[in-house]
Structures are given as C-alpha cells and as structure tokens.
C-alpha cells in the first residue's frame, strides 16, 4: 500500500464509508496514489494518507478503514470511530453506495451526530442508473442539512464537485450537527450528560452532545478518547463520576441496560435512515437489471456455486500452467545467455575460476532459475486472482467456505487469505490483517503455508506430468495435469480445515467471531488497471523478496556442491546422513536435503535434486521431462516415491520469505517457530503413514 505523509499547512479530510463503496477509488482519483481496493470488509486496517492541491490549498485525504458503524465491533471500526470522534479532521467525506443508500446512511447519520462538517458523497451513480435506481440528491441534502455530491469515481465523474464542496466546508465550517431523536429516557440521559460536560467541551473540538453519545454508547472508549486526544480524565472529579453512574442507574431502572441501549441507538438511526432513503430513492422495475440476481442465484446456490468454484479453480490453474510455459522458456534462455556473458566478462577481468564459478554458477544461476520459474506463473496467477476480486467473485468464495471454517472454529475471512496463499504464502500471511480476532488471525497465519504457493507449483506439475499423465499430450495433457493439480490443492485445503480445527480445539481455543460478509455488486473488471496493479503491487513485491533470499542461497548451495571432504562433496555427505530418516518418508536423503537447501525459495528444490543425482557442481536444467524421469527412475524413484515427494512438497516448512513475514506480523519468535514446526510435523507424519501403507500392501511400482 502506497501512502504519503500529510503535507504541512494542509487541511485534513477524513474519507469514511462502508466497505466496497469505492472509497479507495475516490482516494486514488484525487491523490494519484495506488491505494488497493478490496472486495471484503476490513481490507484496510490502518490509515492511508494522500495529498491533493486545489485553489492554492493542499488537502490531506485520510482513507479510513471501511466500516458499517462507529460502534467498535472490530479493529477497523475502532480505527475509524476513534479518528472521527476525536475530530481529527477539518471535514469528513462519507462515501455512500448509490445502489444501497439506506445502509450507507446509517454511518452518515452516526458521523453527522459527532461532527457537523460532513460532505455526503453518493458514489456508484452509474451503477445505480444501470439498475434503474434514481436518487434525488437535492432532497437528500435538504433532509440531512448537509452538502451532497453524486460520484462515479471509477469514471472520474463528480470529483470537481467534491473538491468545490470540500473547499467550502473548510472555508465556512457547518456548525449545527444533525441530531437523531431517541426515546424519551435516552434523550433525558443525553441532556443530563450534556449539562455535566458542557463546560469541558467549550475548549474542545468535540460537542457536549457528541461526548454524551460516546459515553452512553461505549463508556470505556469515551474515557480513552478523552485521555488520548483531549488530555483529561473524564472522571477526574468524583462528583462527575457519581453523576454519570447515576444516569446509567436511572436508565437501567427504566429497562435500558447496555444491550438495550445499543439496540436503541442502532434502531433509531436505522429508522431515520430508512425514512430518508424512502423519500429520495425511486426504483424503476422495468429498467432494473436482474443480471446481478441471476449471477448470485448461480454462484451462491450450493448445488451450482461449489461446482462453479471448483471449475474456476481448475480454469485458473490451467491458464497458469499453459500460459507460463513459453514465457518461462524465453526468460530462462535470456537469463542463462546473460550468464554466459558474465562468465566471459569474469575471465576477461581476471577473476579466479573458483570465485567466478561461485558468483556466476552459484549465486547468479540460482537467482536466474528462481526468476525464470517464479515470475511467469505469478505474472499470470495474480492478475487472474485480481480479476476475480475486481469482478466481485471472491466474497462469494468466502460465502461457500465460511460454514466450513466456522466448523473449524475460525473465521470465514480465512478463505480469502488462503486464496492469496496460492499466489504467495507471504502475501497470504500479510492478508491475514483483515481478520479481526487475534486468535483467528494467528490460526490463519499458522496454516497459510499448507496451501501451495506458485513456487511449489513447478515441482508438483513436473511430478504429475512425469509419473501420472502416461501417454497424454497437448490439450489433454494440460487438462489432466490441471485436474490432478486441482485435486492436490483440494487435499491441501482439507489439511487447512483439519489443522485449524486441531489448533482451535487445543492451544488456540475460542469461539469463532461473527463478521459481516459484504457481497458487492458484480462489476466489469478494469483489465488494464488490474494488470498494472497486480504486477506492481504483488508480483514484483513477492519476486523482490524471493530474489533477496535466492542469491545468498545460491552461494550456500554451490559451496555444498563443491567443497570436498575426502572423495565426497559436502552435499553428498549430508544427503547420506539424512538418507535413513528420509527412507521412512518414502524418498531418499538427496530429496530431503534439497528441501532443506530450498528453504530460501521453493523453486530451487527440484534443480538441487537434479544437481545431486548428476554429481554436478551447479544447478542444471533438462531439455525434456522424459529425460528427467529417466534420471529419477535410475535413482530409485517409483510412483510411490513421486506421491511422497508431492505430499512433502505440500506439507513442509514455509519458505524464508514467509517466515520473515510471519515474524513481522506476529512480532513473536515463539509463533514463528510454531509456524515452522507445525506443517513440518504434519508432512513427516503424513509421508510416514503413506509410506507405511505402501510398504504394508506391497504397492511399490
């Protein structure tokens, strides 16, 4: 996420709104930044800053996390509610969804009660028009006593009106906040509290009524708000504390306990929001588009939705497998041609052969292999993933998987982070920020590496092609390969469910939290923006991390393959040492050592296996998979060996990049070690069990 620091002498504008109303699109259009837009609640869990200039004045936009309410039920709501309630901005722009105005008005009314300087931005006006929805913006402005602008932010429409209204609000701030009328006992309590704190609020940016509302809705957050932003203790005067407690006691005596108070505030606001929405929104049944409903009926029905989900998964993998082959070959040829030039250059400047081979055949060759193998699939997978996200399909995936994750006592949002893990586990771990509960976020981080990232796809695809496709070729081979890979992926998803269940029943016990799953309208993806965003924000970011660990890994691997103790290389000695244990897992010491040395990047596991079997001092690449299969079979590989290697490839320690990300996210060495040991223990047990069954029934091919 790209942000900039607030500019000096700028006006601060808070940008608030529900998830998926185009808030980040407005932010991007005004600031020229690339704040990522996501199709799920909680995508942003911090504040992004961006500046724009208008009429010789600089404005700093603060893109607050998407939230449905200022009542702090989640981390993002706490962020947004605290910033707005503390009056940290000169104005607040609330972005609403024109296709569902009533829901957006709930947040508008809550904010308008706390600060009068509010601009209501009704976004997605083009989408509403296509669905036959018309909104009387002038009447809406009259009913709210607030300025209102209509936007179609993706098309850049209405931004000039936005800038004009913000300038007016900052130059001539509104003074009278909108008020919602609550039941008489609650209004009486608010008046009592306003009287108590009227003197305090004279010198503060918060009004007495706003503070009274904050106290009644969440007393603890009101205390923290005053301490953190206004520098005084809400209950410093014992008489004041007694008076507030008396107000709560009187309310409780009238039947307004804490739960009923919350329901009363929400219910009253909802009633006003509905009344206003009904008066300004008209809907044409003839023009209303029914495509959205038809698509939801297709995608959300369990009889059709789950098969479609599996078919889309198969399609994404097939496109990735087929599409990555040619660019990977071209990139490999280019990078290894550069390697030849580097060798010649080193000879010309007099670099010793030993140092030349270590730098070029060690560090550079591993680096070139990682880039050639990793970049093409990522450059295809991430845009496909982002297209589904932009289209609005990913929340439907979470809808189907939510029930299964809840059975594992975790959060349905874990489905989204798991999907990110297919591209890169480090990205999936970072994505776990969208999960509110610390316990459930930790479960998602610990299990994310159980789904294979694109770095493990080449190994899985190569083994599937060599040992399970038989005589298939062309389209049938790529389709069968995709089917088998999909089946393998489903096994990893099952392992994720099972492991999450075990964790939540043992060391991370707890009740799964509820969350509001936003099902945004389907939208035509902006293909060019999707490609640019996925390549710059995801592909190159992940590739950069992989490259940073692949280069030193290349040096270590070269040293292992070229340092001799007696007649054997250090690589062979280590492989022989690991061999007895590796045999229990269904393969040999060379394979196990390759996984260990491939810790920096999963892409280099197979090349290390080839290098060790051929007793070569550097990583090699075969021209055809049939030649590679001959080499593997000559070194004792069977179909059972291939399955064992695939199982261990699915279930073993995360790569270095993912572990570093887990350490950064959890800030805990203990949980980082758990994330290392958990999948490793699962992989060892699974491989031992499979190898034991094969040995028992004599199915060694």
Task: Give the up-direction half-sphere exposure of residue 428: CA atoms within 13 A in the CB hemisphere.
Answer: 31
Query: Hey, which bits of 374-415 come out as E strands?
Result: none
Residue 292 within a domain: no
CA angle 55/56/58 to nearest 5° reads 100
Q: Determine contact, residues 372/328, Cβ cutoff 8 Å.
A: yes
User: CB under 8 Å to 503, separation ≥6 — which residues?
Assistant: 443, 446, 447
> In 3-state terms, what secondary structure has residue 568?
strand
Name the band, by pLDDT with cuts 50, 70 and 90, for residue 474: low
The closest of 89, 86, 94, 90 to 21, measured between CA atoms, is: 94
DSSP letter string over 60-77?
EEEEPPP-S-SS-SSHHH
Does 34 have pLDDT greater than 60? no
Of the candidate ranges 1-15, 275-289, 389-403, the one whose mean pLDDT is the lowest? 1-15
The tens digit of pLDDT for each residue in 124-159 reads 898 888 778 899 999 999 999 999 999 998 888 999
Does 647 have pLDDT greater than 70? yes
Q: What is the CATH number for 114? A: 3.40.50.300
Name the band, by pLDDT with cuts 50, 70 and 90, for residue 288: very low
543 versus 568: which is more confidently predicted? 568
pTM above 0.75, yes or no: no
**C-alpha to C-alpha distance for 572 and 563, rounded to whole angstroms:** 10
DSSP letter string over 42-53?
TS--S-EEEEEE
612 versus 103: which is more confidently predicted? 103
- Considering the domain architecture, whether residues 49 and 149 belong to the same structural domain is answered as yes
- Considering the domain architecture, whether residues 362 and 266 belong to the same structural domain is answered as no
For tokens 């029930």, name the residue: 403
Residue 1 within a domain: no
- Considering the domain architecture, whether residues 458 and 542 belong to the same structural domain is answered as yes
The tens digit of pLDDT for each residue in 683-700 reads 999 999 999 898 887 754
What pLDDT was estimated at residue 446?
A: 92
**C-alpha to C-alpha distance for 214 and 224, rounded to whole angstroms:** 11
Residue 481 within a domain: yes
- Considering the domain architecture, whether residues 323 and 267 belong to the same structural domain is answered as no
Name the band, by pLDDT with cuts 50, 70 and 90, for residue 628: confident
Cα 657 to its chain centre, rounded Å, is 16
What pLDDT was estimated at residue 36?
A: 45
Does 626 have pLDDT greater than 70? yes
Torsion of CA 124, 129, 134, 140, to 10 degrees: 20
Q: Which CB contacts under 8 angstroms, 24+ apart, belong to 334-339?
A: 335/368, 335/371, 335/372, 336/365, 336/368, 338/368, 339/364, 339/365, 339/368
Cα distances from 377 to residues 43, 320, 414, in angstroms, run 25, 6, 23
Does 455 have pLDDT greater than 60? yes
- Considering the domain architecture, whether residues 142 and 261 belong to the same structural domain is answered as no
497 versus 380: which is more confidently predicted? 497
Of the candidate ranges 8-22, 441-455, 608-622, 652-666, the one whose mean pLDDT is the lowest? 608-622
Does 526 have pLDDT greater than 70? yes
Q: Which one of 73-77, 390-394, 545-549 scores highest in mean pLDDT?
A: 390-394
Domain boundary among 283, 312, 343: 283
The closest of 602, 598, 601 to 612, measured between CA atoms, is: 598
Instruction: Please give the DSSP secondary-structure letter assigned to residue 618.
Output: S
Does 427 have pLDDT greater than 90? no
Does 1 have pLDDT greater than 50? no
What pLDDT was estimated at residue 39?
A: 36
Cα distances from 469 to residues 333, 485, 513, 649, in angstroms, run 27, 12, 44, 19
What percentage of the chain carries pLDDT values higher than 70?
A: 87
**C-alpha to C-alpha distance for 243 and 578, rounded to whole angstroms:** 73
Work out how many domains the chain is built from and give that number. 3
What pLDDT was estimated at residue 38?
A: 41
What pLDDT was estimated at residue 200?
A: 74
- Considering the domain architecture, whether residues 211 and 86 belong to the same structural domain is answered as no
Residue 581 within a domain: yes
**C-alpha to C-alpha distance for 503 and 510, rounded to whole angstroms:** 10
Cα distances from 255 to residues 140, 186, 250, 259, 323, in angstroms, run 35, 11, 9, 10, 65
The average confidence (pLDDT) of the chain is 81
Residue 124 within a domain: yes
**C-alpha to C-alpha distance for 105 and 85, rounded to whole angstroms:** 17
Of the candidate ranges 134-148, 286-300, 510-524, 649-663, the one whose mean pLDDT is the lowest? 510-524
Does 594 have pLDDT greater than 80? yes
pLDDT (mean) for 284-291: 55
Q: Determine contact, residues 87/205, Cβ cutoff 8 Å.
A: yes
> What is the domain extent for residue 222?
184-283
DSSP β-bridge partners for residue 541: none
The tens digit of pLDDT for each residue in 196-215 reads 888 777 777 888 888 888 88
- Considering the domain architecture, whether residues 106 and 159 belong to the same structural domain is answered as yes
Domain boundary among 140, 171, 202: 171
Is residue 347 exposed (0-12), middle (13-18) or buried (19+ Cβ within 10 Å)?
exposed
Does 106 have pLDDT greater than 70? yes
Residue 504 within a domain: yes
pLDDT (mean) for 628-644: 88
- Considering the domain architecture, whether residues 264 and 399 belong to the same structural domain is answered as no
- Considering the domain architecture, whether residues 250 and 204 belong to the same structural domain is answered as yes
- Considering the domain architecture, whether residues 378 and 487 belong to the same structural domain is answered as yes
Query: Phi and psi for 113 in degrees, rounded to 5?
Result: -70, -20
Q: Which one of 29-43, 452-466, 611-625 scores highest in mean pLDDT?
A: 452-466
Q: What is the CATH number for 230? A: 1.10.287
361 versus 134: which is more confidently predicted? 134
- Considering the domain architecture, whether residues 278 and 210 belong to the same structural domain is answered as yes
- Considering the domain architecture, whether residues 351 and 432 belong to the same structural domain is answered as yes
Does 492 have pLDDT greater than 80? yes
What percentage of the chain carries pLDDT values higher than 90?
A: 20
CB atoms within 10 A of CB 497: 19
Would you put residue 90 in left (φ > 0), alpha (ψ -120 to 50) or beta?
A: alpha
Residue 509 within a domain: yes
Residue 514 within a domain: yes
What pLDDT was estimated at residue 284?
A: 66
Q: Which one of 33-47, 269-283, 394-408, 532-546 scores highest in mean pLDDT?
A: 269-283
């Amino acid at each position: 996420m790209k942000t900039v620091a607030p500019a000096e002498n700028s006006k601060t504008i808070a940008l608030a709104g529900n998830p998926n109303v185009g808030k980040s699109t407005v932010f991007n259009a005004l600031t020229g930044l690339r704040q990522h837009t996501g199709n799920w609640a909680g995508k942003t869990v911090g504040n992004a800053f961006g500046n724009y200039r208008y009429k010789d004045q600089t404005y700093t936009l603060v893109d607050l996390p998407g939230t449905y309410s200022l009542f702090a039920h989640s981390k993002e709501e706490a962020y947004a509610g605290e910033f707005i309630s503390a009056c940290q901005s000169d104005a607040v722009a609330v972005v609403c969804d024109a296709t569902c105005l009533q829901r957006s008005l709930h947040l508008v009314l809550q904010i308008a009660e706390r600060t009068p300087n509010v601009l209501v931005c009704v976004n997605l006006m083009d989408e509403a028009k296509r669905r036959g929805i018309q909104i009387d913006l002038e009447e809406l402005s009259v009913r709210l006593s607030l300025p209102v602008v209509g936007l179609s932010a993706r098309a850049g429409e209405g931004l000039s009106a936005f800038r004009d209204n913000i300038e007016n609000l900052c130059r001539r701030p509104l003074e009278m906040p909108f008020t919602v009328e609550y039941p008489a006992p609650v209004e009486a309590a608010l008046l009592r509290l306003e009287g108590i704190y009227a003197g305090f609020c004279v010198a503060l940016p918060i009004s007495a009524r706003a503070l009274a509302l904050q106290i009644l809705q969440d007393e603890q957050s009101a205390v923290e708000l005053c301490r953190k932003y206004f520098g005084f203790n809400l209950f410093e005067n014992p008489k004041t504390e007694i008076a507030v407690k008396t107000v709560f006691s009187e309310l409780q005596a009238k039947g307004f306990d804490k739960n009923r108070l919350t329901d009363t505030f929400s219910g009253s606001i909802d009633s006003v929001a509905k009344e206003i929405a009904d008066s300004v929104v008209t809907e044409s049944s003839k023009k209303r588009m029914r495509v959205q409903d038809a698509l939801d009926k297709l995608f959300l029905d369990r009889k059709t939705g789950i098969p479609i989900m599996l078919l889309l998964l198969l399609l994404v993998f097939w496109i990735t497998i087929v599409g990555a082959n040619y660019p990977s070959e071209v990139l490999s040829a280019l990078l290894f041609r550069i390697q030849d030039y580097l060798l010649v250059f080193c000879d010309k400047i007099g670099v010793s052969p030993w140092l030349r081979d270590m730098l070029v055949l060690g560090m550079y060759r591993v680096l070139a292999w990682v880039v050639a193998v990793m970049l093409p699939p990522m450059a295809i997978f991430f845009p496909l993933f982002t297209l589904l996200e932009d289209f609005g399909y990913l929340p439907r995936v979470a809808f189907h998987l939510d029930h299964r994750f809840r059975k594992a006592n975790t959060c349905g949002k874990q489905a989204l982070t798991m999907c990110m893990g297919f591209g890169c586990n480090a990205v999936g771990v970072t994505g776990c920020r969208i999960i509110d509960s610390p316990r459930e976020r930790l479960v998602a981080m610990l299990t994310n590496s159980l789904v294979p990232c694109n770095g493990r796809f080449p190994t899985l695809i190569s083994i599937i092609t060599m040992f399970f496709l038989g005589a298939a070729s062309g389209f049938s081979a790529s389709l069968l390969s995709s089917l088998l890979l999909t089946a393998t992926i489903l096994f990893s998803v099952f392992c994720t469910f099972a492991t999450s269940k075990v964790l939540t029943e043992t060391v991370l016990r707890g009740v799964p939290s509820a969350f509001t799953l936003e099902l945004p309208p389907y939208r035509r993806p902006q293909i060019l923006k999707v490609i640019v965003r996925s390549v710059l924000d995801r592909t190159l970011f992940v590739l950069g991390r992989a490259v940073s660990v692949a280069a030193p890994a290349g040096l270590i691997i070269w040293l292992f393959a070229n340092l001799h103790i007696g007649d054997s290389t250090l690589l062979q000695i280590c492989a022989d040492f690991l061999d007895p244990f590796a045999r229990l897992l269904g393969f040999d010491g060379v394979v196990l050592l390759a996984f260990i040395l491939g810790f920096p990047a999963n892409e280099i596991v197979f090349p290390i296996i080839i290098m060790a079997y051929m007793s070569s001092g550097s990583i090699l690449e075969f021209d055809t998979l049939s030649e590679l299969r001959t080499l593997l079979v000559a070194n004792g590989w069977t179909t059972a060996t291939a399955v064992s290697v695939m199982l261990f490839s699915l279930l073993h320690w995360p790569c270095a990049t993912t572990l570093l990300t887990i350490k950064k996210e959890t800030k805990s060495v203990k949980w980082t070690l758990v994330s290392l040991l958990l999948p490793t223990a699962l992989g060892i047990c699974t491989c031992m069990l499979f190898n034991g069954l094969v040995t028992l029934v004599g199915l060694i091919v």
